[in-house]
Amino acid sequence: MLEVIEQLIKEVSQFSAESKEQVEQFRVEMLGKKGKITQLFKEFKNVAVEQKKEFGKQLNILKTTTQQQVDEFKTRLDNVENDGTSTDMSLPGNAEYAGSRHPLSIVLNEIVEIFKRLGFTISTGPEIEDDWHVFSALNFPEEHPARDMQDTFFIGNGSDVLLRTHTSSVQVRAMENKKPPIRIIMPGRVYRNEAVSARSHCFFHQVEGLYIDENVSFADLKQTLLYFAKEFYGHNTKIRLRPSYFPFTEPSAEMDVSCSLCSGKGCNVCKYTGWLEVLGCGMVDPNVLELNGIDNKKYTGFAFGMGIERTAMLRYGVKDIRMFFENDLRFLRQFQEI
Ligand code: PHE
C-alpha cells in the first residue's frame, strides 16, 4: 500500500500539462470524489495501526504535492493566455461606437475653415437682441414686414427685445466695437416666426461674412465667393449672381452655384435648372456704414449670408429640415467621419 502512494507521489511530481483541460482532468482523477487520493483516504481506516502513522504522512505528502501541481499549472496557463501568446491577434476587434459630429456642425466647420484661409476670423453675438441691432442699424425701413410679429418673435408685448432673425445683427456689433479693416465670419442660430414644415423651421442656423476696408469692390465679393464655391462644392463649380434686394446691401444679389449632382445638366434637386440658390450677398449699403459710425467716403465693404440647414440638405440630400433637430440616432450615425 505504501508503495502505491510513493509511486503516485513520483508520478504526480512529474506531471505536466499544456492546457487547462488537462489540469482539470488530472485534478478530478486524483482529488475528485472518486479520485485516487480520495480512495486512499477512505482506505485509511483499514490500515494496520502500526502503519497508520507512516501511511498518513505519505498520503498527506501526496495530497499537497498534487494540489501544488494543480495550482502551479493553472497559474502558468493563465499567464500564457494573458500575455497574448494564446490569443489570435489577427482577429478583428470589437468596434466601439465612437460618436459623430452633427451634420450641421460638419458643414459649418467646413465653411468656417474655408473663410479662415482667406483671413476671416470668427465673431459671435447674442441670440436675444433688440430692434436696433437686428433692424434699425441695418437700414430696415420703419414699415418693413420683418418687423411684424408674424415674422419675428418678440419677447414681451410691445417690447424692444426680440430673438434675432438673422446673424446680420453681429455685423452691427462688430462695427460698434472695431475699426476697419473688419474681416469676420459670423455663425449662429436665428429664429423666425414660421410654421414648421419639411422646408422651414422656426429656428435654424446661418453663417454670415463681412469685409470692410478701403477700396473693397464688387469684384472682391465675386472672387471671394467663387473661391468659396470651388472649395466647398468642388473645383469645377461655376457661380452666377442674380440681382436681389436686402435693406442693408446695395447692390444686392443671390448667388447660385452650378448643380454638383448633375454638373449643371438638370436634375430633380436643381429642379432641372442646372443651378442651386445658395446665398444672399451684396455691397454694404453706405447708409449702414454711416449708421454704425464708419466713414462711407473712405470705406466700402461686402457682406454675404447663407443658411446652414439648406447647405447641409443640398450636400447630403436631406429632404426634411426637421430631421436635424430630432436627434434620431439612426439619422445622426450616418454622418460618422472615419
Ligand atoms: N441676412 C440675410 C438673410 O437672412 C442674408 C444676407 C446676409 C444677405 C448678408 C446679404 C448680406 O436672408
| Domains of the chain by residue range | 2-85, 103-335
pLDDT of residue 187: 97
Using a 10 angstrom Cβ sphere, with 0-12 exposed, 13-18 middle and 19 or more buried, the burial of residue 23 is buried
3-state secondary structure the chain: CHHHHHHHHHHHHCCCCCCHHHHHHHHHHHHCCCCHHHHHHHHHHHCCHHHHHHHHHHHHHHHHHHHHHHHHHHHHHHHHHHCCCCCCCCCCCCCCCCCCCCHHHHHHHHHHHHHHHCCCEECCCCCEEEHHHHCHHHCCCCCCHHHCCCCCCECCCCCCEEECCCCHHHHHHHHHHCCCCEEEEEEEEEECCCCCCCCCCCEEEEEEEEEEECCCCHHHHHHHHHHHHHHHHCCCCCEEEEEEEECCEEEEEEEEEECCCCCCCCCCCCCCCCEEEEEEEEEECHHHHHHCCCCCCCCEEEEEEEEHHHHHHHHHCCCCCCHHHHCCHHHHHHHCCC
Q: Which CATH class is domain 103-335?
A: alpha beta
Those residues with Cβ within 8 angstroms of residue 75's Cβ, 6 or more apart along the chain or in another chain = none
Summarised one tens digit per residue, pLDDT across range 64-111 is 989 998 998 888 888 776 665 667 788 888 888 778 899 999 999 999
What's the predicted TM-score (pTM) here? 0.73
Does ligand 1 have an atom closer than 6 angstroms to the CB of 264? no
Share of the chain above pLDDT 90, in %: 60
84: left (phi over 0), alpha (psi -120 to 50) or beta: left
Cβ–ligand 1 contact at 185 (below 6 Å): no
Q: Quick check: CB of 166 below 6 Å from ligand 1?
A: yes
Residue 149 has pLDDT above 80, yes or no: no
- Show Cβ contacts of residue 173 under 8 Å, excluding neighbours closer than 6 positions: 123, 125, 133
* pLDDT for the residue 117: 97
Reported as a single tens digit per residue, the pLDDT across 227-247 is 999 999 999 999 999 999 999
Atom of ligand 1 nearest to the CA of 190: 4
**Conformation bin of residue 145: beta by default, left when phi > 0, alpha when psi is -120 to 50:** alpha
Closest Cα to atom 4 of ligand 1: 166
Average pLDDT over residues 268-291: 93
Question: What average pLDDT does the segment 189-205 reach?
Answer: 94
Out of 244, 246, 254, 311, give the residue to mutate to test ligand 1, the one with the largest number of ligand atoms within 8 Å of its CB: 246
Å from CA of 284 to ligand 1 middle: 11
CA–CA dist 80, 292 (Å, integer): 76
Name which residue sits closest to atom 2 of ligand 1, judged by CA: 305
- Rounded-to-integer distance, Cα 122 and Cα 183, Å: 9
Contacts of residue 87, Cβ cutoff 8 Å, sequence gap at least 6: 81
User: Bigger pLDDT: 18 or 190?
Assistant: 190
Residue 338 has pLDDT above 60, yes or no: no
Burial of residue 137 (number of CB atoms within 10 Å: 0-12, 13-18, 19+)? buried
Whether residue 1 has pLDDT greater than 80: no
From ligand 1's centre to the CA of 163, what distance in Å?
16
Q: Where residue 119 falls among pLDDT bands split at 50, 70, 90? A: very high
Nearest to 259 by CA among 280, 233, 241: 233
Q: What is the mean pLDDT of residues 288-298?
A: 96
**Span of 152-166, 241-255, 317-331 with lowest mean pLDDT:** 152-166
The residue among 98 and 53 whose pLDDT is bigger is 53
